[in-house]
């Protein structure tokens, strides 16, 4: 992806314009994002906070090409994500994004090393190079002695560390994290929160993180609060 789309300054990696999202059923409709605008500078550690059901995860999914908007535009690195077809979005997610979710989504029949290795290998990285990269990332997240373990043999915090390593294996420009500490006890939640920010710094990634944890939100260089379907640049 190149940073050459009309209207997207070089200093911004994400720009969202008048975004709307409405969910409809046969009997009713619910609009949760209402003309939302958002800008994220390249290299920022952006945190989005809001009440449950406020639309913060929906916003992240739209930026990640995992959901579509009802109206509005989303530009990422100069490309209009909101105008892409499914094949283009697949390439975008594979090459440009790292994703970390509340649940780790590790493949249970594969070791920690294989779980991190597979996305790189599937993206065309030579096997040996992909394996070396996966091993280096697992070492960086403190799992050098757990690489051969399967998910069932790892603690919840360790599984989420594997997920963080996996999100970086294809050298993404942008890491999106949706409630990455939501399933963890307070000690592991703090460890994973610290790890996400430190790894983003170490590898020079832009991070957009959704959380309800105000202690985690305080680590962000840019903080947004979702309120009444829009964003305010503050956390309360």
Q: Is the pLDDT of residue 199 over 70?
A: yes
For residue 230, the model assigns a pLDDT of: 81
Percentage of the chain with pLDDT > 70?
94
Q: Is the pLDDT of residue 236 over 60?
A: no
For residue 52, the model assigns a pLDDT of: 81
Q: What is the mean pLDDT of residues 38-47?
A: 94
Alpha helix (H) residue ranges in 37-149: 56-63, 86-96, 112-122, 127-140
For residue 207, the model assigns a pLDDT of: 96
pLDDT band per the 50, 70, 90 thresholds, residue 234: low
Q: What is the mean pLDDT of residues 150-177?
A: 95
* Chain segment 97-129, per-residue pLDDT in tens: 999 998 889 999 999 999 999 999 998 999 999
CA distance 202 to 195: 10
For residue 168, the model assigns a pLDDT of: 96
Q: Is the pLDDT of residue 10 over 90?
A: no
For residue 109, the model assigns a pLDDT of: 96
pLDDT band per the 50, 70, 90 thresholds, residue 184: confident
Cβ count within 10 A of residue 151: 18
Backbone φ, ψ for residue 226 (5° rounding): -85, 120
Q: Is the pLDDT of residue 208 over 50?
A: yes
Helix (H, G, I), strand (E, B) or coil at 40: strand
Element (H, E) at 45: strand 45-50
Distances (CA, A) of 120 to 44, 213, 235: 25, 31, 36
pLDDT band per the 50, 70, 90 thresholds, residue 9: very low
For residue 26, the model assigns a pLDDT of: 81
CA distance 156 to 30: 34
* Chain segment 77-97, per-residue pLDDT in tens: 988 998 999 999 998 998 899
Backbone φ, ψ for residue 206 (5° rounding): -80, 135
What distance, in Å, lies between the first and last C-alpha atoms of the chain?
Answer: 36
Q: Is the pLDDT of residue 232 over 70?
A: yes
Q: What is the mean pLDDT of residues 47-54?
A: 86
Q: Which residue has the higher pLDDT, 135 or 78?
A: 135
């Amino acid at each position: 992806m190149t940073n050459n789309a009309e209207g997207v300054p070089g200093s911004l990696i994400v720009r969202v314009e008048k975004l709307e999202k409405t969910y409809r059923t046969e009997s009713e409709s619910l609009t949760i994002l209402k003309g939302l605008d958002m800008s994220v500078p390249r290299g920022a550690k952006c945190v989005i906070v809001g009440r449950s059901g406020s639309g913060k995860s929906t916003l992240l999914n739209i930026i990640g090409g995992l959901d579509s908007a009802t109206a509005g535009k989303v530009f990422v690195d100069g490309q209009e994500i909101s105008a892409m077809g499914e094949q283009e979005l697949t390439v975008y997610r594979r090459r440009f994004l790292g994703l970390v979710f509340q649940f780790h989504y590790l493949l249970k029949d594969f070791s920690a090393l294989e779980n991190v290795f597979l996305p790189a290998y599937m993206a065309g990285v030579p096997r040996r190079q992909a394996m070396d990269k996966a091993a280096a990332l697992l070492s960086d997240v403190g799992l050098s002695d757990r690489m051969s373990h399967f998910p069932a043999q790892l603690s919840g915090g360790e599984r989420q560390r594997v997920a963080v390593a996996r999100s970086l294996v294809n050298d993404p420009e942008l890491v999106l994290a949706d409630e990455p500490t939501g399933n963890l006890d307070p000690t592991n939640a703090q460890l994973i929160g610290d790890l996400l920010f430190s790894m983003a710094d170490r590898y020079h990634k832009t991070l957009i993180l959704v959380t309800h944890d105000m202690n985690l939100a305080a680590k962000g260089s840019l903080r947004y609060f979702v309120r009444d379907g829009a964003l305010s640049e503050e956390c309360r």
